[in-house]
Amino acid sequence: MFIEQYCAINNEKISFTRQQGSDFAKQVANDFNPLHDVEAKRFCVPGDLLFSVIIAKAGLHKEMSFNFSGMVNDGIHLTFPNEITGNFEVNDNNGKNYLSVEASGEKSTCPALINALTKAYVSFSGYTFPDILVKLMSEKNVMINPARPMVMYQAMEINLQRLDIESLSLQLAQTSLSIEGKRGDAWLEFDLVSEGEVVGHGKKHMLLSGLREYCQDNIDALIEQYKTSKTHYHKS
């Protein structure tokens, strides 16, 4: 399970260091959201890492949904399921909930399938900004605050028709962005493909906060800053 290098397991409790969360975002997801920088004041562990740990430990069901209710910081010890029967809540030692999971249908613990889905889905995050979100914001004439670019993972669901597969890729199917005041809800829908056959579907829900009127110069500067962070990381 390659995911073990990105978390610490102690007495069935799992926690993450800032370095582990940041490394997963940058090395696996190619995601340079500043919230995942080691030095970020509002650092949070990538939601994709929590998703990856769950299916690695509890297996992959045909139908699964994940709803995030809190930002996981470094050093928080969480209880993750070894098996999911209906639903499960990922809580800390004080009972605070960070993630709720629902699962149904057949289950697979095939490492090849789970690793393939993990890498296909997580690498999708690397294209969310700027490739997908900038186009959606431009169409709605809104943008995130360039000084505090807040894009948060809210929920995700997957529906697989088959589990007897070992290779998997993800293809973007449809996107949408709804605006309410300074908040935006982005939905990214995708197909799951194995050897040329569509074997499932899914969608990801993201929250954009602090929206203001779209400004191309500010967006260009934000994209440049994002690309510079990525370049510097890969050169170091």
Q: What is the mean pLDDT of the chain?
A: 93
pLDDT at 1 over 60: no
Query: For 94-133, how does the pLDDT look when each residue is reduced to its tens digit (9 = 90+)?
Result: 999 999 999 999 999 999 999 999 999 998 888 898 999 9
Q: What phi and psi, each to the nearest 5 degrees, are found at residue 118?
A: -55, -50
Domain, as residue range, for 91: 2-235
pLDDT at 11 over 70: no
Q: For the domain that residue 85 is a member of, what is the CATH number?
A: 2.40.160
130 prior amide bond cis, ω within 30: yes
Average pLDDT over residues 181-196: 96
Element (H, E) at 172: strand 169-180
Alpha-carbon dihedral sign for residues 9, 15, 18, 24: positive
Element (H, E) at 190: strand 183-194
Q: Could you give the number of structural domains in the chain?
A: 1
